[in-house]
Amino acid sequence: MNALSATIRNFRRAARLLGLDSKLEESLLIPFREIKVECTIPKDDGTLASFVGFRVQHDNARGPMKGGIRYHPEVDGNLLLPCYFHHLHITEMTNSEELQVDPDEVNALAQLMTWKTAVANIPFGGAKGGIGCNPSELSKSEIERLTRVFTQKIHDLIGVHIDVPAPDMGTNPQTMAWILDEYSKFHSYSPGIVTGKPIDLGGSLGRDAATGRGVLFATEALLNDHGKSVSGLRFVIQGFGNVGSWTAKLISENGGKVVAVSDITGAIKNSNGIDIPALLKHVEETQGVKGFQGADAIDANSILVEDCDVLIPAALGGVINRENANEIKAKYIIEAANHPTDPDADEILSKKGVVILPDIYANSGGVTVSYFEWVQNVQGFMWDEDKVNRELKTYMTNGYKAMKEMCKTHNCELRMGAFTLGVSRVARATILRGWEA
């Protein structure tokens, strides 16, 4: 089951539990707007090249739409077909972590942002978009020109109080800086138009660590609820990019024992606990965990079934499935990645008594601190990093409590508790604004 199908399935289950009117249910699924533009730029050699830019704006009932912009190859021309009438597949490229940009996946991620921002209780809706290109084949100046042309094409459809983009796969703070500058040519200086910006242009302190720190706070909330703490437990982390590495660092600093990690270069294990500061230094020098002397190399395919207390998938989606779910030994799974567990695995793990903290809540630290950045830009008053981290902990802790209340109300597991929480908040806003069909 692909990301879109799983998202719609969870949404419909939540809608049934909430007793939503069928017309309201259907209206909440349909994107507010889907945008597709042609972006033609001169390349460095003087030739012209055209690329497809797109933006799916899913819902704005609770506030401006929010979501990343990704630069990836193979944007499908069928993007503008109704997202729930066709089912393409995410293609994993064998020689990198890049994914083919699947329009179903983009629609699913835009929807997920709507529910995720509602679960986090921040006043945003959901969006997603990007440009069909391979950044590795473009020079920095070509990427800048492409970003500026894309911004010119959509500047009247995004805005500080309309739709606020952020970095995603293939984009970074510099990309956001170019969008900010180009947008400001049309609308005056507007630092709140994007988040994930460089600090010097109004970016927020603490943003780089935000998703990983949010994963820590979410994990703490779950474990506290079960009478446990991070200290002394054994953790396995799949993925050692921004989210995985920050999660490992923060768990280690809080007394947790990280016994195995993996990334695209390989996987390593040390049953006595990996020296995370040393591993971080190794990864900085070699661009991967492979070859780290403080742990033994293991088969990367076995990382998810290593013996541990807490498993944290922080890489690709769909990695926990019916083929490996029965072999998983962890008692808790914290979904730092988007959609790492498919519905079949969900059912198997639930029967085994494994507690899954869903992505829609667990990895919301990034968008929450993006909200803090937007607030700082709108107010024109910047926060120190301690305030950012304190506020993030408050939001993550309150989010867990609200999710648990929904679990009790509807007698459901955490994933459905999160979906009923998010969908109910969006549905209430939609009704209050008089938008229901």
For 69-94, what is the mean pLDDT? 45
Residue position matching structure tokens 């800086």 = 177
Q: Tell me: the pLDDT tens digits for 348-394?
A: 999 999 999 999 999 999 999 999 999 999 999 999 999 999 999 99
pLDDT score of 109:
82
Residue 290, annotated ligand binder? no
Residue 199 pLDDT > 60: yes
Residue 215: name the closest of 245, 195, 193, 185 by CA.
Answer: 245
Residue partners of 238: CB distance under 8 A and separation at least 6: 244, 261, 262, 303, 304, 311, 312, 313, 314, 315, 319, 337
**128 is a catalytic site residue:** yes
Mean residue pLDDT of the chain comes to 91
pLDDT tens for 202-256 read: 999 999 999 999 999 999 999 999 999 999 999 999 999 999 999 999 999 999 9
Give the residue-averaged pLDDT of 11-30. 94
Q: Is there a binding annotation on residue 351?
A: no
**Opening angle at CA 411, ends 118 and 432, nearest 5:** 35
- The pLDDT value recorded for residue 76 is 47
pLDDT at 97 exceeding the cut of 60: no
Does 394 count as an annotated binding residue? no
Catalytic residue among 36, 43, 128, 185: 128
88-102, 172-186, 315-329, range with greatest mean pLDDT: 172-186
125: three-class secondary structure by DSSP:
strand
Q: What is the pLDDT of residues 266-308, one digit of tens each?
A: 999 999 999 999 999 999 999 999 999 999 999 999 999 999 9
> The whole model's pTM is what?
0.90
> Residue 321 in 3-state DSSP?
coil
The dihedrals phi and psi of 40, each to the nearest 5 degrees, come to -105, 130
Dihedral in degrees, nearest 10, Cα atoms 252, 253, 256, 260: 0
Q: Write the pLDDT tens digit of every residue in 100-157.
A: 455 666 777 899 899 999 999 999 999 999 999 999 999 999 999 999 999 999 999 9
| Residue 116 annotated in ligand binding | yes
Q: Please, which residues have CB within 8 angstroms of residue 383's CB and are 6 or more apart in sequence? A: 204, 205, 372, 376, 391
Confidence of residue 259 (pLDDT cuts 50, 70, 90): very high
Say whether 211 counts as a known binding-site residue: yes
Work out the angle at residue 403's Cα, subtended by the Cα atoms of residues 352 and 215, and round it to the nearest 5 degrees: 75
- Local confidence band at 338 (pLDDT 50, 70, 90 cut-offs): confident
Answer for the pair 174, 203: CB distance below 8 angstroms, yes or no.
no
